[in-house]
C-alpha cells in the first residue's frame, strides 16, 4: 500500500493540470451528449446502429456502464501516468532535486571513488544514492582515519578500502628537483609554495592490490576521482599498475572532480588542462568527464586563499581544445573537450565557516571562511552525467 | 590498547535456521555462555559484532558498522559459530595479519572455513564488505593472499543439534573460563544452609553467594560440575551435572538432569534433560523436555512433552533449511523451539521437531514436526498476525520488567516479512472455522486460552 501511495504521490505536480483536463473532458462529454441526444430525438437511426449504441439496454443501464468503463479507464490512465517521470520544461536540467528524483526511480548506480582526505568524506555522502559506494583510500593513508571520521557522519552503503594491505610511501619530485615524501606537508611550506610536482612514484617493491579495490572498479557504473588533492589523494592509487589497468578496462564512466584551488608546492600554476594532463602522464588515461567549478568566488574568500598562495582553478577560454556535440533521444548538448575529457562546468562549491586551531596553540581557535565542494551539488552533477549516458 | 574484538557470521548461519532467524549465531547458548559471553569471559573485553543487516541494530554494531574499523589497533575477527575458544589466546599473541582456518568436516559451506583472524585495519578494510554480506568464502580467498595461515582443529556449531550434543562438554570447558573471572565458593567450602540438602561431590558444585537453595533437594555433581548462578532452587528439586543454571532462574521442584544449561530468568519445572534454554523462557510445569533447545521468550504449557528417542532406536532426522531432511546421526534428540514460540497444554512433540520463531501452537495432540515461523493454530494453521504477535510479546516481556524496543520490534517484523513464503498456503485473516461443531468448540476454547500465552497451562 505504501509503495502504491508513494507512486501516486509522484503525481503531485500534475494535480492542477490533470484537474483542468478532467473538467475539460467532462464539459466536452456533456456537449457530445447533448448533440447525441438531439440527434436521437430528431433523427432516424438504422436498426444496426442502435445495437452498436447499446439501445437494447435501458438508459440508466447505459449510463452506469459508460460511467464504470470510464472510471476504469481513468484509473488506468492515472496509474500509467504516475509511472512516467515528468520534468517541467522550465526546470534547469542540473537543478538537483527533479533530476535526482528521476534518477532515484532508476536502479541506483555502483560507484567507486578514488580520493582521500576531507574530499573523500564529502563524496561519501553519495552512499545513500548508490547501491554501493566503495571509497579507495590513498596508498599511504591509514584507512582507520576514514572509518573514524565516517562513523561520526552516519554514512550508509559506504566502505573504505585500502588498495594495498599495508601503507606504501609516496615520493614526489618538484620542478626544481627537490624530493619529498608526500607526507612532508609540502603545501604548508612557504619556501616551496611556488613549486609544483614534476614526478611522483611509489617507494618500495611491487605489491598486491586488494580484490575489493579491483572488483569495485570493474563493477562500477562510475569511477569518481576526487574531490581531493591530485598528488596526495588521487594519483597515488593510480600508480599501482593493477589499479590503472582495472580502470582502463572498466566500462564505468570516469569522472574527475577538479580541485577548487591550486595547492602550493603541488599544483601551483596549474589550470584545468594541467590537472587533466597529470592523469595522462602518471595514470595513462584521461577521465571521460571533468567537473569544474563555475561558481563565482567572492573577493573575501579569494583574498584568504591568495594569502595562502592559492588561486582558483577555473576553466580558461584559452584552454578550450574543441567542442563536442552529444545528443540523446531528447536533447543535443555542446561540451568543451580538454585533453580528451569532456568538461562539465557547474556550481559545485559552497563557502563554509571553519573553526581552526593549531597544534602549537590548541586553545587558540579562529574561524575562517573556506571554499569546499558541496556534497549535494556534486551529487547532482554526477547523477546528471550518469543520467545523460 | 587492546585489539578490537569483532564477532562475525558466516554462510553457515543458514543451516542453523530457523533458530537464528531472530538472533545471530554468536548469540546461541551452548554450555554456560553464548559466544559473545564466552569471549568476554576469556578476554575481559566486550566483543562487537557484524551480523545480518536486519539483526544488526539489535545485536551488532548497526546496519552499516563503519565504527568497527575506527581504531588503529589490530582487528580480531571471531567466527560466530565457534564453540570452544582454546585457539583464541594463541591468535591474540600472533603477529598482525594472521588467520586461523579449520575444517569441521561437515556442513554445506566453504571448507575449510575462517575461524578467526588478527588483522591490520588496512587488511580488515579489504574484507569488511564480505563480512557485512556473510560472504566469508570471498573474505577467506582474499585473506589467503595477504595473511599468514594457520590450520587447526576446532569445534563449531554446524547444525542445530550440535548445540545439544556439545552442551555437556561445553559446560565443563566454560567452567574453566568462568573461574578466571569469578570466584564462587564450592559447596564443599561453603555448604548451603537450608536443611535436607544432599550433595554429591560438593567440590564440583559452585553456588553464587546470592543463590537461594531451599531443601530438601539433591545436587549431584558426580558426572560433572553443577554451577548455580544467583538463581532460586525450590524444594524437591534434583540437579545433576554437568549443568549450568543462570541468574534469576527459578527451578520449581524440577528434575534437571545432566548436560543442561538454563539461561537467565527462566522458570523450569517437570523434568528436563540434556537441554538448553536460552533465557527468559518458561517450562514451569510437569512434562518432559529432553535433548532440546529453547530460544528466548518461549512458553511451554503444562504436560507438554517431547520425544527424544525413537522406539526403533534409530537416529533422528531433522529438517534443515535448504537441505531438507538430514540424518543427525544422533540417537537421542528432542525439539528445537525458536525465540517467542508459545506452546499450549498437553502437546506432544516428535524428536527433531523444529518450530520457527513467533509461532503459537495449541489445541492439537501431536504438533507437526516442522512448523514455519509465525504460525498460529493447531488443527488448522494460519499465519499469526504480526501485530497480535508483537502485542503478546510486549505483554510477555513486560512481566519480566523489560520493554520490547523499537529495534527489536522492527527486527521481528522483518523476520515475519522474510519468512512469509514459508507460510504460503496457510489461511490469512480470520481463524478458519472447521465444519464440525465439536471441532469449532474445541478450537475456540483453545484460541481464547492461547491468545494470552501467560494464561496457557496455568
pLDDT tens sequence across B242-263: 999 999 999 999 999 999 999 9
Measured between beta carbons, which residues in chain B are less than 8 angstroms from residue A162? 122, 125-126
pLDDT of residue B43: 94
- Residue A159 near chain B (CB below 8 Å): yes
- Residue A151 near chain B (CB below 8 Å): yes
Question: Cell numbers of A30, please?
Answer: 456533456
Question: Cell numbers of B274, please?
Answer: 540434556
Residue A93 has pLDDT above 80, yes or no: no
Task: For A212, name the nearest residue in chain B, comparing CA atoms only.
Answer: B126
Give the mean model confidence (pLDDT) for residues B212-226: 96
The 3-state DSSP class for residue B241 equals coil
Which residues have a Cβ under 8 Å from the Cβ of B44 and sit 6 or more positions away?
B181
Mean pLDDT estimate for chain B: 91
A129 touches A383 (CB < 8 A): yes
Interaxial angle between packed helices B406-418 and B386-398, expressed in degrees from 0 to 180 and rounded to the nearest 10: 140
pLDDT of residue A326: 66
A120 touches A146 (CB < 8 A): yes
Mutate to test the interface with B, among A151, A156, A216 (most CBs of B within 10 A): A151
Contacts of B437-441 with CB under 8 Å at 24 or more apart are B439/B379
For strands A253-257 and A222-225, give the pairing.
parallel
pLDDT of residue B1: 54
Distance between CA atoms of residues A254 and A251, nearest Å: 9
Buried b (16+ CB within 10 A) or exposed e, A185-219: ebbeeeebbebbbeebebeeeebebbbbbbbbbee
Residue B58 has pLDDT above 60, yes or no: yes
pLDDT of residue B441: 45
Q: A175 vs B442, which has greater pLDDT? A: A175
Give the mean model confidence (pLDDT) for residues A104-115: 82
Distance between CA atoms of residues B438 and B445, nearest Å: 11
Per-residue model confidence as pLDDT tens digits over A326-345: 665 555 667 788 888 999 88
Q: At A15, is the pLDDT very low, low, confident or very high (cuts 50, 70, 90)? A: confident
Alpha-carbon distances of A337 from A100, A321, B392, rounded to whole Å: 25, 6, 66
Residue A389 has pLDDT above 80, yes or no: no
Closest partner CB to A159 (pick from B70, B128, B145): B128
Chains A–B, number of C-beta pairs less than 8 Å apart:
76
High-pLDDT (> 90) share of chain B, %: 83
- Residue B180 near chain A (CB below 8 Å): no
Mean pLDDT estimate for chain A: 83
Per-residue model confidence as pLDDT tens digits over B335-388: 999 999 999 999 999 999 999 999 999 999 899 999 999 999 988 899 999 999
Residue B8 has pLDDT above 90, yes or no: yes
- Residue A128 near chain B (CB below 8 Å): no
CB contact residues (below 8 A), chain B span 88-107, against chain A: 97
pLDDT of residue A30: 87
The vertex-A248 CA angle with A242 and A254, nearest 5°, equals 120
Cα torsion angle, B162, B108, B114, B100, sign: positive
The 3-state DSSP class for residue B348 equals strand
Using the beta-carbon criterion (under 8 Å), do A142 and B130 form an inter-chain contact?
Answer: no
pLDDT of residue B444: 45
- Residue A167 near chain B (CB below 8 Å): yes
Give the mean model confidence (pLDDT) for residues A376-387: 88
Per-residue model confidence as pLDDT tens digits over B428-451: 543 343 333 444 444 444 444 444
- Residue B128 near chain A (CB below 8 Å): yes
Give the mean model confidence (pLDDT) for residues B180-206: 93
Q: At B130, is the pLDDT very low, low, confident or very high (cuts 50, 70, 90)? A: very high
Q: How far is B8 from chain A (nearest CA, A)?
A: 17
Measured between beta carbons, which residues in chain B are less than 8 angstroms from residue A240? none
The vertex-A345 CA angle with A342 and A346, nearest 5°, equals 140
Element (H, E) at B126: helix B121-132
pLDDT of residue A2: 64
- Residue A242 near chain B (CB below 8 Å): no
B131 touches B51 (CB < 8 A): no
Residue A63 has pLDDT above 90, yes or no: no
A230-244, B109-123, B282-296, B435-449: which has the minimum mean pLDDT? B435-449
B292 touches B337 (CB < 8 A): yes
Peptide bond into B407 cis (omega under 30): no
pLDDT of residue A78: 78
Using the beta-carbon criterion (under 8 Å), do A164 and B120 form an inter-chain contact?
Answer: no
Q: A103 vs B219, which has greater pLDDT? A: B219
Per-residue model confidence as pLDDT tens digits over B75-100: 999 999 999 999 999 999 999 999 99
Buried b (16+ CB within 10 A) or exposed e, B85-99: bebbeebbebebbbb
Per-residue model confidence as pLDDT tens digits over B266-301: 999 999 999 999 999 999 999 999 999 999 999 999
Distance between CA atoms of residues A1 and B36, nearest Å: 40
Neighbours of A315 (CB within 10 A): 20
User: Which residue in B360, B329, B328, B362 sits closest to B348, CA to CA?
Assistant: B362
Q: At A301, is the pLDDT very low, low, confident or very high (cuts 50, 70, 90)? A: confident
High-pLDDT (> 70) share of chain B, %: 93
Q: A29 vs B20, which has greater pLDDT? A: B20
Amino acid at each position: 500500500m505504501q509503495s502504491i501511495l508513494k507512486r501516486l504521490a509522484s503525481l503531485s505536480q500534475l494535480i492542477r493540470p490533470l484537474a483542468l483536463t478532467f473538467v475539460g473532458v467532462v464539459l466536452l462529454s456533456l456537449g457530445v451528449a447533448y448533440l447525441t441526444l438531439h440527434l436521437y430525438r430528431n433523427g432516424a437511426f438504422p436498426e444496426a446502429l442502435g445495437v452498436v449504441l447499446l439501445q437494447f439496454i435501458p438508459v440508466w443501464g447505459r449510463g452506469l456502464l459508460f460511467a464504470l468503463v470510464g472510471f476504469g479507464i481513468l484509473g488506468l490512465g492515472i496509474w500509467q501516468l504516475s509511472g512516467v517521470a515528468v520534468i517541467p520544461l522550465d526546470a534547469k536540467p542540473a537543478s538537483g532535486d527533479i533530476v535526482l528524483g528521476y534518477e532515484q526511480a532508476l536502479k541506483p548506480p555502483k560507484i567507486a571513488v578514488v580520493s582521500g582526505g576531507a574530499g573523500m568524506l564529502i563524496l561519501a555522502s553519495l552512499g545513500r544514492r548508490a547501491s554501493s559506494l566503495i571509497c579507495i583510500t590513498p596508498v599511504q593513508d591509514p584507512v582507520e582515519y576514514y572509518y573514524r571520521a565516517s562513523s561520526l557522519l552516519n554514512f550508509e552503503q559506504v566502505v573504505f578500502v585500502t588498495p594495498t594491505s599495508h601503507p606504501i610511501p609516496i615520493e614526489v619530485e618538484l620542478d626544481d628537483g627537490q624530493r619529498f615524501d608526500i607526507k612532508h606537508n609540502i603545501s604548508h611550506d612557504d619556501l616551496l609554495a611556488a613549486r609544483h610536482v614534476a614526478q611522483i612514484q611509489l617507494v618500495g617493491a611491487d605489491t598486491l592490490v586488494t580484490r575489493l579495490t579491483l572488483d569495485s572498479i570493474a563493477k562500477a557504473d562510475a569511477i569518481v576521482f576526487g574531490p581531493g588533492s591530485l598528488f596526495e589523494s588521487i594519483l597515488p592509487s593510480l600508480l599501482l599498475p593493477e589499479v590503472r589497468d582495472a580502470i582502463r578496462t572498466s566500462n564505468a564512466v570516469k569522472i574527475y572532480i577538479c580541485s577548487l584551488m591550486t595547492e602550493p608546492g603541488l599544483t601551483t600554476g596549474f589550470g584545468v588542462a594541467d590537472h587533466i594532463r597529470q592523469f595522462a602522464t602518471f595514470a595513462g588515461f584521461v577521465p571521460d568527464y571533468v567537473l569544474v567549478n563555475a561558481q563565482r568566488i567572492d573577493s573575501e574568500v579569494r583574498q584568504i586563499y591568495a594569502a595562502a598562495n592559492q588561486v582558483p582553478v577555473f576553466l580558461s577560454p584559452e584552454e578550450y581544445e574543441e567542442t563536442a556535440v552529444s545528443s540523446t533521444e531528447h536533447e543535443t548538448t555542446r561540451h568543451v573537450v580538454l585533453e580528451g575529457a569532456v568538461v562539465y562546468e557547474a556550481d559545485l562549491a559552497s563557502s563554509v565557516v571553519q573553526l581552526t586551531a593549531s597544534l602549537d596553540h590548541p586553545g587558540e581557535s579562529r574561524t575562517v571562511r573556506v571554499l569546499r565542494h558541496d556534497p549535494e551539488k556534486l551529487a547532482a552533477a554526477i547523477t546528471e552525467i550518469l543520467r545523460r549516458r | 590498547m587492546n585489539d578490537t574484538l569483532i564477532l562475525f557470521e558466516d554462510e553457515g548461519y543458514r543451516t542453523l535456521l530457523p533458530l537464528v532467524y531472530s538472533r545471530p549465531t554468536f548469540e546461541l547458548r551452548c554450555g554456560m555462555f553464548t559466544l559473545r559471553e564466552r569471549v568476554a569471559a576469556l578476554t575481559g573485553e566486550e566483543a562487537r559484532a557484524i551480523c545480518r543487516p536486519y539483526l544488526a541494530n539489535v545485536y551488532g554494531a548497526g546496519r552499516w558498522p563503519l565504527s568497527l574499523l575506527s581504531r588503529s589497533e589490530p582487528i580480531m575477527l571471531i567466527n560466530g559459530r565457534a564453540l570452544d575458544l582454546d585457539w583464541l589466546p594463541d591468535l591474540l599473541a600472533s603477529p598482525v595479519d594472521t588467520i586461523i582456518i579449520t575444517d569441521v568436516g561437515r556442513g554445506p559451506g566453504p571448507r575449510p572455513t575462517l575461524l578467526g583472524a588478527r588483522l591490520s585495519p588496512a587488511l580488515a578494510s579489504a574484507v569488511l564488505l564480505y563480512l557485512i554480506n556473510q560472504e566469508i568464502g570471498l573474505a577467506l580467498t582474499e585473506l589467503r593472499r595477504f595473511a599468514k595461515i594457520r590450520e587447526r582443529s576446532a569445534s563449531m556449531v554446524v547444525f542445530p543439534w550440535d548445540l545439544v550434543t556439545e552442551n555437556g562438554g561445553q559446560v565443563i570447558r566454560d567452567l574453566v573460563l568462568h573461574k578466571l573471572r569469578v570466584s564462587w565458593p564450592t559447596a564443599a567450602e561453603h555448604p548451603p544452609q537450608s536443611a535436607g540438602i544432599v550433595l554429591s561431590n560438593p567440590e564440583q558444585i559452585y553456588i553464587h553467594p546470592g543463590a537461594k537453595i531451599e531443601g530438601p533437594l539433591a545436587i549431584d555433581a558426580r558426572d560433572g560440575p553443577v554451577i548455580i548462578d544467583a538463581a532460586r532452587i525450590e524444594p524437591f528439586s534434583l540437579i545433576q551435572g554437568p549443568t549450568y543454571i543462570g541468574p534469576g532462574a527459578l527451578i520449581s521442584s524440577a528434575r534437571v538432569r545432566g548436560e543442561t544449561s538454563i539461561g537467565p530468568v527462566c522458570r523450569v519445572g517437570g523434568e528436563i534433560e540434556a537441554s538448553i534454554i536460552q533465557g527468559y523462557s518458561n517450562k514451569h510445569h510437569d512434562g518432559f523436555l529432553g535433548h532440546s533447545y529453547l530460544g528466548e521468550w518461549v512458553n511451554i504449557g503444562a504436560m507438554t512433552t517431547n520425544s527424544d528417542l525413537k522406539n526403533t532406536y534409530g537416529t533422528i532426522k531433522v529438517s534443515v533449511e535448504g537441505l531438507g531432511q538430514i540424518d543427525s546421526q544422533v540417537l537421542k534428540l528432542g525439539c528445537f523451539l525458536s525465540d517467542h514460540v508459545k506452546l499450549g497444554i498437553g502437546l506432544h512433540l516428535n524428536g527433531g521437531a523444529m518450530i520457527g520463531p513467533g509461532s503459537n501452537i495449541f489445541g492439537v495432540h501431536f504438533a507437526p514436526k516442522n512448523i514455519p515461523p509465525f504460525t498460529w493454530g493447531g488443527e488448522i494453521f494460519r499465519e499469526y498476525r504480526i501485530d497480535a504477535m508483537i502485542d503478546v510479546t510486549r505483554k510477555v516481556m513486560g512481566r519480566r520488567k523489560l520493554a520490547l524496543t523499537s529495534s527489536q520490534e522492527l527486527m521481528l517484523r522483518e523476520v515475519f516479512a522474510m519468512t512469509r513464503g514459508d507460510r504460503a498456503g496457510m489461511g490469512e485473516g480470520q481463524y478458519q472455522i472447521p465444519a464440525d461443531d465439536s471441532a469449532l468448540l474445541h478450537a475456540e476454547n483453545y484460541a481464547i486460552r492461547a491468545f494470552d500465552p501467560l494464561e496457557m497451562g496455568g
